[in-house]
Structure 1
Amino acid sequence: MNEKYGVKKSIFLKSILIGAAAGAVISLLDKTTRSSVISSGKGCIQEMKSFVKDPSLSLTKVCDTTEQIRMTIEQITEDAVFISQKVEELKEIPPQLAHAVIETKDAITAEITNNRNEEPDDLQLHTV
């Protein structure tokens, strides 16, 4: 039974490779695609040649890119912490705001009550 599975797997893999090759050949019938593949291939060959001539330059590029990625990750981490702190601060604002509104309402109510107690009776009718 393992042999049948191995043969089927082998046929499947071969079929995928043949299909991919056929797709590549068909796509190369388009002149724009062909030109793009040729220019990409030339660029790749140039990169390989420069690596072979000076591997330290490629290593330097890799190190620079790694450093940039590390710095970007650090900045994103700092930004995430900052945003998290601001969200926590925003969560605290509604209770503080509600407390301030209640205090203001109480102060206004107390002021109105004091003013009513100090005014003569005939003026209270006009202020309502």
Structure 2
Amino acid sequence: MGRSKLLASIVVGAAVGAALSMLDRTTREKTIATTKQMKEAITYYAANREELQVLVEEKVLAAKVLCEGVSENVNAIAEKVDEFKELPSTIESMINDTKAAFALPDKE
């Protein structure tokens, strides 16, 4: 059985697409500028690894705080959903109590 050519076709298609997009001057200039910025950032952080470590730790902490906030919000929403699930039975019992209070006595 022959090997699948899907991955190779995807890589070739991506390379052709990238080459065609470079024919546009604006795209080419933006790609060059972005590549230069990335090169400068990599060079800077390679020389200042402590600063990179601090930056990564800050981002990890921010993500952790965000996750905790989302978790708290999900828990609050789950509690509200539970309250709303109980609401119909509470309303039904209130209606039945009201009906019983205003019901005419049975004639015997």
Partner of 2:97: 103
User: 4+ residue runs of structure 1 moved beyond 4 angstroms?
Assistant: 15-19
Partner of 1:43: 37
Q: 1:104/1:20 Cα in 2 relative to 1: closer, same or farther (>3 Å)?
A: closer
Distance 2:91 2:59 in 1: 47
Distance 2:95 2:88 in 1: 10
User: What is the TM-score when the length of structure 1 is the normalising length?
Assistant: 0.70
Q: Judging by fraction of residues, say which structure has more helix.
A: 1
Instruction: Look at both structures and tell me which one has the larger radius of gyration over its CA atoms.
Output: 1
The answer for unaligned runs of 5 or more in structure 2 is: none
Say how many residue pairs are matched.
Answer: 104
Partner of 1:75: 69
Partner of 1:85: 79
Deviation at 1:40, TM superposition (A): 1.0
User: What is the TM-score when the length of structure 2 is the normalising length?
Assistant: 0.81
Distance 1:72 1:99 in 2: 41
Distance 1:16 1:104 in 2: 70
- 2:30 matches 1:59: no
The answer for unaligned runs of 5 or more in structure 1 is: 114-128
